[in-house]
A and B are shown apart, each in its own frame.
Chain A
Amino acid sequence: MKIKSLKYLVVWIIFFSSGAIAQKVMDANTIMEKMDNQQRNVSDGTFTQSRLSTCRFAKKDKKISCVETPRIKLMESVSKQSGLNKKDSKNISILLEPASERGIGMLSYSYDDNKKDSESWLYLSALGKVKRIASGSSDDQEPTAIFGSEFSTEDMESGKTDEYRYKILQQGLYAGRSVWVIESLPKPARLSKTDYSKILVWVDKERLLPLKMQTYDKRGKVYKRLLFKNIVNIQGYWLARDVTVLNLKTLRLSNMKTEKIALNRQVSEQFLTQRTLTDFAFREKELAVLRELVQ
């Protein structure tokens, strides 16, 4: 009986050991996929008014603050998910400030299929002309800064969870919230199109969104730190209305405040076409409806 019990114990230990490891890997993947899925849902039929501020910063008395007048951009954006599993996206953004860039509009379609070219059109108010931009497929893109800020396209993208390996490094309380700290390592296919060798993500267990991210450069040194604040629940979705990225190499920071947001709105297909870039009366009529629904 003893021997039989021992036999079961051995088998159980082996099963538990391998199972525990498998579960850890799966859990990290599942967490990241769920978080990514939530991010995509937040972008479906969404209207935002955002303020993007960028400045050089300095640290003094445990405080980090701007040491110059920040560059500020105000913009309105409308986005919609489409395609299979809503992994494709359409987005239009219009700059309101600064005055020198007022009226610039960008329409872009991006596809989950890595081989399919993204499509972008730019409306420059000074030229009065819609211009197609060739930006290649997501397989063929390197991260670029968004409007000259410290946010890069890589910091904002979703739907690429299969390009990373994930591992839970730690769990416990961070900033009063129960979190997983997950390490993301780019797979070889991703390495050529990322600035980061590693990303650590502090994921709020209950709300399934990041509270903090830390990225490392190709030499393994801390590169950027992203902090997510003013977390609110809108229509069942948790989102951070205040995101700051600190570039620890350039000592510049960018802060994105979502000042107003409307989720899950009906956005007509025609609104996400070139018409919106040049038919201002149509654009403003559609935006006026969305502006009234903001929170």
Chain B
Amino acid sequence: MNWFNKVWIKGLLFLSAFLNLCVYAQENTADETDWLLEDDEFVIVTEVEQSKPLVPEFSEATNSSPWWHTVKTTLQHDITKAQGNEGVERSKIQLDYEDTLHSDLYFKMQTNYRYFSRSDTQAIDKGESYGRSKVQQFWLQYSQDQCAYTLGRQTLAWGEVDGTFAVDVLTPFDFTEQLFTDYNDLRVAQDMLLVDCYLTQKQVQFFYIPTPKTNVISHSASNISVNSSGWEELGMRLKLTYPGFDLSIMLAQLYWNMPGYIPSMNNDDFQFESQKFDFAGLSASLAKGRLLYKWDLAYKSNQVDVISSEKSSTAELALGIEYTTLNNQKLNSGFWQVESLGTDGNDRSGVFTLGWSQQYFHDELAMSLLGNIYQQPEYQNITLLGVYKTTDIYTFSCAVSMANINEEDKALMDGLADRAVSFSFKAEI
């Protein structure tokens, strides 16, 4: 009894009783946790198939599908109203089809018909409204062992820094297109043979274009001839991939088809100047945390200066940086400088860009802002773009642009308005 009366024994018993009570309480807090085992008070009817599905079932969407399920149809109407400038008013119907033809063969086609109404800048240029069909993609891809061979009309983008053309010169921007509405249409597709070989951490790419298309300015070149006999473009790229880092080395023989042109006299006729040139490029991107650093470096021989019409080699450097914030806002900035390596001393021109984008309302609305500062010709512009997907089918886009033009030579600013507002409506099924 004396033993039981000891203080430490009492203390231990008290402690054990307390701990057991804790455990008991934890296990038997009937009032507080019993609800956890109750059945849910509702039934979820997520059978969205109750309404007719907008898309085919999987068995239809994959291998065993009839061919028409892999066809996409797009209807689009674009309008741009520009202050003191010609606008855009055009409609488009586009068909996309892609599918496996055989176990090693893949086919893709994208073709459209576009109608340019009387008030459209291209129709004004031509003197009447007109319709025009275009095959943007039409290629067959064969894959065997480590290599893929793609033959036909296609686009090919090189380089890392978006919106600059230091390296991205193979399938150039098509300036007859409204720039913001559809990236599919933005490039002048080329008929080419493309060979891609994939090795561990490496990709080797070869391309050959027998007859390159270089006119990126207008559909109507009736009064201006471009001598294209004997043209061909070819080149290669080696891409190395490391953790967090991509590096590409490029070599090519190309024709000049960058934005801008110079009229030149040839037998009393105007014609576009398009010079053959050699190209060497280096591109890299480095991901560090939420930052992405990008570089494009290019050397081009025999380049035509838009302002002076003189020819010289150029060294071009594009730097870009992208940052994704914690709440998924994307910020980017870029700088593209062209340095002419002429005998009369170096001539420099540059473009500085600053962009922001963010998605709202569960990705239904995408907003973006892009500002550019050009040194030559000298102007600044800013564009605010909103793209709203009302359903999986319908998309409505609106852009407002403003430009501050300081350039005295107005001929160089053809097509750029002080203020412009654009609308686009698209249905894709």
Please list the residues of chain A having a beta carbon within 8 angstroms of any beta carbon in chain B.
Answer: 3, 6-7, 10, 13-14, 16-18, 20-21, 24, 49, 51, 53-55, 59, 62-66, 69-72, 74, 76, 96-100, 102-103, 117, 119, 124, 126-129, 132-137, 140-142, 144-145, 147-149, 169-170, 172-175, 179, 181, 200, 202, 212, 227, 242, 244, 246, 252-253, 255, 259-260, 270, 273-275, 278-282, 284-285, 287-288, 291
Q: Which residues of A contact B203 (CB under 8 A)?
A: 274-275
B98 at the interface (CB under 8 A from A): yes
B20 touching A13, Cβ below 8 Å: yes
Tell me how many residue pairs across A and B have CB atoms closer than 8 Å.
230
What's the nearest-Cβ distance from chain B to residue A19, in Å?
10
Residues of B within 8 A of A20 (CB): 19-20, 23
- Provide the residues of chain B in CB contact with A55, threshold 8 Å: 48
A138 smallest CB distance to B (angstroms): 12
Shortest distance in angstroms between A48's beta carbon and chain B's nearest beta carbon? 10
Besides A20-B19, A253-B44, 13 other A-B contacts (C-beta < 8 A): A49-B62, A64-B46, A72-B55, A97-B61, A97-B392, A98-B428, A124-B183, A134-B288, A134-B289, A142-B326, A169-B36, A170-B36, A288-B103
Can you name the residue of chain B whose Cβ is closest to the Cβ of A11? B12
Of B211-219, B221-229, B238-246, B261-269, the one with at least 4 CB within 8 A of chain A: B238-246
Q: Could you tell me if A64 and B43 are in contact, using CB atoms closer than 8 angstroms? A: yes
Known interface pairs A97-B55, A170-B37, A181-B37. Does A10 touch B326 (Cβ–Cβ under 8 Å)?
Answer: no
Tell me the complex Cα distance, A196–B328, Å: 18
List, sorted by A's number, 14 A–B pairs whose CB atoms are closer than 8 Å. A53-B48, A65-B46, A70-B51, A72-B54, A98-B428, A99-B429, A128-B154, A128-B157, A133-B287, A134-B288, A140-B289, A169-B36, A253-B46, A291-B63
Q: Chain B contact residues: over half helix, strand or loop, or mixed?
A: mixed
Name the B residues within 8 Å of A147 (CB-CB): 363
User: A136–B288 Cα gap in the complex (Å)?
Assistant: 7
CA A96 to CA B45, docked complex, whole Å: 25
Q: Determine if A74 and B55 form an interchain contact, defined as CB atoms under 8 angstroms apart.
A: yes
Chain B contact patch, size range: 35 or more
8 Å CB contacts to A: which residues of B49-74?
50-51, 53-58, 61-63, 72
Interface residues of B (CB under 8 A from A): 1, 3-4, 9, 12-13, 15-17, 19-20, 22-23, 26, 33-34, 36-37, 39-46, 48, 50-51, 53-58, 61-63, 72, 98, 100, 103-106, 108, 141-143, 148, 154-157, 182-184, 196, 198, 203, 241, 243-244, 246, 285, 287-292, 322-324, 326-328, 359, 362-364, 389, 391-393, 395, 426, 428-429
B427 to chain A, nearest CB (A): 9
